[in-house]
Amino acid sequence: MPDRIPDDLIALIDRFARIGATPGGGVRRLTGSAEDGAARALFADLAQARGARVAVDPVGNMFATFLTAPDATTTVLCGSHLDSQPTGGRFDGALGVLAALDGAAALFAQGIDAEHNLTVVNWTNEEGARFQPSLTGSSVFCGKYSADFALGLTDRAGVTMGDALGQIGWLGTGTPGLTPVHHLELHVEQGSVLEDSGVQIGAVTASWGVRKLTLAFTGAPSHTGPTAMHKRRDALRAAALAITRFHDRMQGETAQLHWSAARIVAEPDSPNVVAARVTVWFEIRNPDQQICTEVGDRFLRAIAADIDALGCGIEVVTDEARPGTALDPAGVRLTLEVCETLGLRATEMRTITGHDALALAAVMPSTLVFVPSVGGLSHCEDELTLPDDLRNGGAVIRETLRRLACPAEDAARARTDSG
């Protein structure tokens, strides 16, 4: 294990974990909440105290820039997100922001002779727990969504993301002010590939594809007592049937799939009224997005007659295809080289989950690095990455940042090594 990273990173993680802490050891920091605001304020204070200038853009993305190359107009972005799921863990997202802050601040304090500046990023609403879609801030930054679209997203109470961020004081007008040349992100794996193989670091090459399908099952409201059973058009019964059929069909498919029906909203949401509209969020994941599309189409065709027989209809609310995204091959090689230098076991791997690094890959070279998750657990209070693995990840990020900021120095080292 490298001894280059002190316990400062562990202390930072512990400090942020107290913001929105849950009884079971996790965190709840939904985008635009008071807890999100407190985490943002602490991040800004810590970055400024270490010498960074902080800017906030129109959707709340935060950029803490360390001028390691004051005369340059370029910068290396590094970070992740501070928002969480309702039952989030303390490492998901926060580790990437804090390892970037720890590494960039240390390099800035050393006075490295860099060609690029270093910008630590906190991307807004990566999780998509309160406002959908996820990866919102990074997707606005890379031009996939407009700021108006993102700010107009609403939660279940009808509050817009713009109003929520405005209420906690984290809507800005700034930009990084520099041209990004690379994006680097450290994240917990959220699976068990690294743990099962005994490997310490994952160099992510690409993501799986995913189809995110939101369906509304439509019926009619009526009294749950006197309404004759044969006259009911029960949307919740239709949704329940569809969910059961969905799981059965996915298990019967021959392709390698991960799937879920993880969220349901019933309207009018009264125990005495037959549900008139029930919305369900389905996901299908596979390394090949086309397979996700084909499997989803087969599911829709299979349930049509069953839902119609219940007197209900199906409305496709959203149908989002996210193809597998390739990450920068040079970044993968650099990650493996850094791990070899540090004496860490590393492997190439794919990610099943979405990350800001994947959104940024559309507009710049982007690199994603994984550290192990104990038991492969994530989005829950039991999420755990061990201290040694946290330090390993921090060491990889610091050294990778140094090499990205000083490409001429890294090229000279490579020539020496090859000679």
**Is residue 33 pLDDT above 50, yes or no?**
yes
- 57 annotated as ligand-binding: no
- State the pLDDT at residue 418: 65
**Which residue, 404, 390, 407, 400, is CA-closest to 98?**
390
The topology under which CATH files domain 8-208+325-418 is Aminopeptidase (3.40.630)
d(CA 140, CA 319): 19
Query: Is pLDDT of 31 > 90?
Result: yes
135 pLDDT more than 50:
yes
Backbone angles phi, psi at 321, to 5 degrees: -105, 125
Whether 6 shows a pLDDT value over 60: the answer reads no
Cα–Cα distances in Å, from 25 out to 86, 270, 339, 398? Answer: 13, 33, 31, 28
Task: Map out the domains of the chain as residue ranges.
Answer: 8-208+325-418, 209-322
Fold identical between 8-208+325-418 and 209-322? no
Nearest Cα residue to 372 out of 211, 239, 214, 188? 188
Residues 123-148, mean pLDDT to the nearest whole number:
97
Report the pLDDT value the prediction gives residue 409, as an integer from 0 to 100.
82
pLDDT over threshold 60, residue 4: no
pLDDT at residue 408, rounded to an integer: 85
pLDDT single digits (tens) 53-92: 999 999 999 999 999 999 999 999 999 999 999 999 999 9
Is 127 marked as a binding-site residue?
Answer: yes
| This prediction's pTM | 0.92
**Residue 92 annotated in ligand binding:** yes
Which token pair is 240? 């329940």
Confidence of residue 249 (pLDDT cuts 50, 70, 90): very high
Return the structure tokens found at 167. Answer: 């209420």
Give residue 416's pLDDT.
Answer: 66
Q: Which CATH architecture group holds 209-322? A: 2-Layer Sandwich (3.30)
